[in-house]
Amino acid sequence: MLALTFFGVLHVPINVPALALTIGMDTFDVDRELIAHGASNFISGMCGSIQNYLVYTNSVLFIRSGADSRLSGVMLAIATSGIMLIGPVLIGYIPVCVVGSLIYLLGYELLKESVWDTIGRLRKFEYITILIIVLTMGAWDFVYGILVGILLACVSFVIEAGSKRVISAVYTGEYARSIVARHPKQLEFLKNVGKQICILKLSGSLFFGSIGGLEDEIRNMFDVANYTKQPIKYLILDLNNVLTFDFSATEGFKRIRNLLMEKQCYFLLSSIDNNSAIVDSLKFCGLWETEEHQEKIQMFNNLNSALEWCENIFLKHYKELIAQSKQPSIAIGREVKKKQIPSPYNGSSSGGADSGLMFGTPRHVQFMNAARRYNQKEQLQQDMIMNKLKEKDRKASVSTMKQPLYLVLQIMQGLSSIYDEKFWGRLSPYLRKSIYKAGEFIYDKSSNQPCLFFFESGLIDFKIEFNDLRFTISSSELPLTMFGDIVITKSDRTIDYKANTNCVIWVLDSSAIKKLKTENRDVYEELLVVCIRITTQRFESITSNVLIS
């Protein structure tokens, strides 16, 4: 009875597709067949009758005899009902040799179709599986053959899935960055330390057959030779394309966690929902066991958020480093010796990177070198601003410097080839200061063009919607950046900007843009060039982010 029940459940998803393939039918619905068999067996059981199931061999013989219409099925049902009422007497009038011949012919055709016709069309393991199933059915039982086939199919899946590489792509933060709008100098600094961010895109099934390969590749990244070239601090595993995740994979993640904690690295999981089955499995197996694990193992809904978090930590560490080494930098009438970021090398800091012996980890050396280069450029350009400002403005501190000129000069760093206070001073009269409260709407690309915004302080959220693709990207705009449009552009994209916190923004509205174009055309043209550079920069950022997500 158990075998009969098992066969009754299993034969539909096996026999229906096989029958459809044999008779050349491309369209069929297995769900509908399952419901029909379930309903018929339920009614048959309630009436005390026998089980109803699809007999593949009889169906093939019936259809090949020319009975391929619905009328044929109705006639067969009527004839079967008649035989049931009359009794088995009619069967005695059918010659045994005819029945035997039909069965023999059908068996021969099915054996030829499964064993002979598949030579050279299947892989070696699949063909051996067919032979084993045929031999098992002939030597023992039909149900045993099905069980052996299922077992061999599981073995085949484990071998194929285990041999397939689960890492579909590897990226570093040098090129894979978030779409947060930052100052060009910050982007340059993040690119210099980007090798410390490693993104592994995972795909397929994570189980006992594949998790070992993932562990080996991650361990290989921390070998001395590889670690020196790419000193990883943030390892991001993107699970967007992971199909299945079993208990063996959770144990593998714990071993990866132990390795990363030993190397003082952060373990980030992206494209994962906090309420998903994967997270429940990881929590159940104890991935977050200590306070250190709570701090260094983070989860994010998407890859962009994970990258943004890593970048913010880098910038936070840089600001902390500057705070330790910084003195009041503006003093008139006397020389002030400024503290520099300490060198990651022993010996004199003025002698360059090769003047002494290196100390610290490769991560520390790379971060300190990037921070020093960024700080030197920042100090140089700040000195240029101070030297070009008027005498009366140099008497003020940086925080109370005349606006919006100082803001404009800071924004133009890395964007404009013209770095002259008098030139950009002609833009200041056209800018209007605006203060937006948290949650207040700022700009809509589809309805408020043209309009330019010079962002002084606060935090702005923006959302890009691709109407033709039904696709949305959300991120943030940081201070000392510029956004908006200097000319009217038509696009299927809609971009909305909304204040996340209280924001101070200097606005160049459409009337001011027209006036600037008429009265100071050279400033307008340079501003147009800057807008093109910003658009190109953000287009590349969004494109690369979409491609890796």
pLDDT computed for residue 17 by the predictor: 82
358 and 481 share a domain? no
Tell me the CB-side half-sphere exposure of residue 251, using CA atoms within 13 A. 8
Is position 194 within any domain? yes
Which domain range does residue 526 map to?
403-548
pLDDT computed for residue 1 by the predictor: 61
pLDDT computed for residue 529 by the predictor: 92
Is position 139 within any domain? no
Amino acid at site 261: M
pLDDT computed for residue 266 by the predictor: 92
CATH of the domain at 249: 3.30.750.24
Query: In sequence order, what are the beta bridge partners of 345?
Result: 358
379 and 500 share a domain? no
477 and 525 share a domain? yes
pLDDT computed for residue 490 by the predictor: 78
Is position 158 within any domain? no
pLDDT computed for residue 364 by the predictor: 63
Q: What is the count of structural domains for the chain?
A: 4
Is position 365 within any domain? yes
Is position 452 within any domain? yes
Is position 129 within any domain? no
Total residue count of the chain as it appears in this document: 549
83 and 18 share a domain? yes
306 and 363 share a domain? no
Whether 203 and 242 have beta carbons less than 8 Å apart is answered as yes
Instruction: Say how far residue 489 (Cα) sits from the centre of its chain.
Output: 30
CATH of the domain at 415: 2.60.120.10
- What are the tens digits of pLDDT across the range 172-194? 888 888 888 888 888 888 888 88
407 and 511 share a domain? yes
pLDDT computed for residue 2 by the predictor: 62
pTM, two decimal places = 0.70
Nearest alpha-carbon partner for 362 in 545, 226, 513: 226
Is position 295 within any domain? yes
Helix-then-strand count for the chain, H and E: 20, 13
Point out the domain boundary residue: 284, 312, 340.
Answer: 312
Whether 236 and 299 have beta carbons less than 8 Å apart is answered as no
Is position 111 within any domain? yes
369 and 430 share a domain? no
pLDDT computed for residue 350 by the predictor: 38
**Bond before 450 cis per omega within 30 degrees:** yes
pLDDT computed for residue 325 by the predictor: 66
Secondary structure (H, E, C), 222-266: CCHHHHHHCCCCEEEEEEEEEEEECHHHHHHHHHHHHHHHHCCCE
pLDDT computed for residue 326 by the predictor: 58
409 and 541 share a domain? yes
Low-confidence residues in the chain, pLDDT < 70 = 1-7, 325-401, 468-469
pLDDT computed for residue 400 by the predictor: 44
Point out the domain boundary residue: 312, 341, 373.
Answer: 312
377 and 409 share a domain? no
448 and 383 share a domain? no
419 and 452 share a domain? yes
Residue 285 CB-density burial (10 A; 0-12 exposed, 13-18 middle, 19+ buried): middle
Point out the domain boundary residue: 375, 394, 413.
Answer: 394
292 and 415 share a domain? no
Rounded Cα distance between 546 and 97, Å, is 69
pLDDT computed for residue 19 by the predictor: 80
